[in-house]
A and B are shown apart, each in its own frame.
Chain A
Amino acid sequence: MAKTDLNNGSDYSERRITSLFFILVIISLVVGVRLFQISVLENKNYIAQAESQHNVIEEVPAHRGKILTESYNSDEKFELATNISLYALTAVPRQIPDKEKAATQLAQVLGLDKNEIYSKIKGNEAYIPPLAHKLTIEQADAVQKKDIKGIYIVPEEWRYYPEADLAAHILGYVDTEGKGNYGVEGYYNQELSGDSGAFFAEKDVKGRYIQVSSKSDPQDGKDLVLSIDRSVQKYTEDLISRSVEKFGAKGGEIIIMDPSTFEIIAMATDKSFDPNNYAKEAKEKTVNIFSNPNTANAYEPGSVIKVMTMAGGIDSGTVTAATESTFPAFVEIQGHKIWTWDKKAHGKENMTQVLETSNNVGIIFVQQRMGKPTFYDYFRDRFGFGDKMGIDVDSESPGKLVPLKQMQDVEAANIAFGQGIAMTPLQVICGFAAIANNGKLLQPHVVKQMITHKGNQEEVRDVKPKFVRQVVSKETAAIIKTMMEDVVLYGYGKEAQVPGYTIAGKTGTAQIPGPGGYLEDKTIHSFVGMAPADNPKFVALIKLDEPQTNPWASYTATSVFSELASHLFKYYQIPPNS
């Protein structure tokens, strides 16, 4: 009996062991299959996941290049645009346990509105735009000391303009995304931005970097040195503001250029802005405030353009300085009467006197003698009017010149004395600078040097003046300069004189187009002068919009030029030559 029991017990145990064995086999198979699936079949996925968790690629931003300027006779470079490291206050609302308390603490530390902060963080988002920008290091430290969960301080680099609104239209501004807009910031955005670098690193569970496995250094942006003279720019901005006020004008511009290089020495307008607060400026003034009127706004320049017509007439051999004719009070073309400015007959005049007395009928005589094709050739193809001058700032207007095929005779006559053509102040001064530069037209520019940083070394590259074309011959240019000297000595440019110096120039009192023709009693006054006349160190354009104190440029813009030239002679230590 016992043996049978033992046998039965033994069988039962064997069955249990066998069952257990099979269960273990099945479990092992399942685990094995799963292991095979993970480590062989899905191997790449898991490796990628692991790498993405603990390997990171971080961008190392490049520093934006600075914009620098100099003053005459000084080796020092002054920063017009530089960078400043500040901090942004960011929040991850879903990580903030007590939002009310967080808002209160932040409001106390930063002096912000508690309710405004609370309204931004009260949700449960993973991301919201930064709560505040441009925190100083003291403010950032104060926030970090509070140790508020879900609140983070992130470093950020901002553009800073130490001279505030000085040369603002030349500089432009950099927006919150680090992109340059208008001016040099816009035109040279790529050169100034540089190229970001990156580093590849392993991170631990807390997000701290363990090891940097490889790194590519950023290439910082290039520094730009402007041709603008800091002191002259400041003086010019003050001068135009005072002049606009003095003459009751709506606005005004001044450009000063070095005719030997076409470098801009100063470019000023009475309305400026602070690029440090461009967003506020756009709201308070208008977005057009950023547009540089010297390069972007075209106007009918009036009688200053007679110099170009005369240059074309003399260079083409149509007339000489001594060519004479008798000029009536008006000339009729295609049924339109075009009068002299004083509505009087000027009688017998030579070409120099035509410029001295700013005789509209006299200049039409020159234009008609040249013929429309030759006249158009000088204006469009040689001086480049109706086309951009190619200055290195954002937003330049080409102005407007009617194409030859569409140009009526009366239009050509109007254009000869600067009406019926739209030009920017830059185009006007380039025309005169070409005359001052022995007939050579160069490309105007404001950047004269680029500095590339390579580690601890600097590579300086000078921007060489770019020759565009010979507009008129050297001999023609000399004759025109002499004629313009006579305008200042004997003509309507007398107020531009500076005792002891020879000055060549031309006035312009231009009508402003309006509905149905031109506006009554509204004019733009301008004077373009170069000095010293025999070898001009500078060419300057003065423009005043709708001055109220006197109807003629010969009493407004000319006196501003005289004041400017007097200052520049002292500044550049130019001795008298007359």
Chain B
Amino acid sequence: MGRFFTLTNSKKSFNGFERRRTISVKKGAGPVSLKFITIAILAALTLLYLGVANGSATKGYSLKALEEEKTKIEAQNERLEVEAARQKSLKEIENKNKDSGMVPVTNVEFE
């Protein structure tokens, strides 16, 4: 039990325990790491492509929706123009002016 509380500066203890301190680590990419990195890059590219395609599709939907809105407004405008043309028609003017008391021109004087 005493040996568990023995304090020593040495890395080594005469009880056979060896304490090691990491000074530097040599890092390297092995085949497994390369596979992971490759898969990760591919996944990222795939996600990027999906993002762009999706963005393009949604823009396309928005554009189409705007075009349909434009067509609707143009159609409304057209209906108003048609109604204006109908109101200006001679038959319509004739009907409206029936009770107006207006009479055809009879004598005209030229100077």
Contacts and interface: CB of A to CB of B under 8 A. Distances in A.
Interface of A: 78-79, 82-85, 137, 155, 160, 162-164, 166, 202, 204, 208-212, 230-231, 234, 569-570, 573, 575-576
Given A208-B61, A208-B64, A85 B79 contact: yes
B59 to A, nearest CB: 8
A78 B78 CA distance: 15
B82 A230 contact: no
12 contacts: A78-B85, A84-B79, A155-B71, A163-B90, A166-B91, A209-B61, A210-B61, A211-B56, A211-B59, A212-B60, A234-B90, A573-B108
B89 A162 contact: yes
Interface size class of B (residues with CB under 8 A): 20 to 34
B82 to A, nearest CB: 5
A160 B60 contact: no
Interface of B: 56-57, 59-61, 63-64, 71, 75-76, 78-79, 81-82, 85-86, 88-91, 105, 108, 110
Given A204-B57, A209-B64, A212-B63, A230 B78 contact: no
Nearest to B91: A164
Nearest to B72: A137
A83 B59 CA distance: 32
B110 A162 contact: no
B75 A85 contact: yes
B70 to A, nearest CB: 13
A403 B63 CA distance: 68
* Secondary structure type dominating chain B contacts: helix
A82 B57 contact: no
A78 B82 CA distance: 11
Given A166-B90, A570-B108, A575-B110, A209 B60 contact: yes
B108 A84 contact: no
Among B59, B71, B89, the most chain A Cβ lie within 10 Å of the Cβ of B89
B57 A162 contact: no
B90 A84 contact: no
A163 B57 contact: no
Contact of A78 (B63, B64, B88, B110): B88
Contact of A576 (B75, B79, B88, B110): B110
Given A78-B85, A83-B78, A231-B90, 4 more contacts: A85-B78, A137-B79, A163-B91, A569-B108
A126 B90 CA distance: 46
A78 B92 CA distance: 13
Contact of A162 (B64, B75, B88, B108): B88
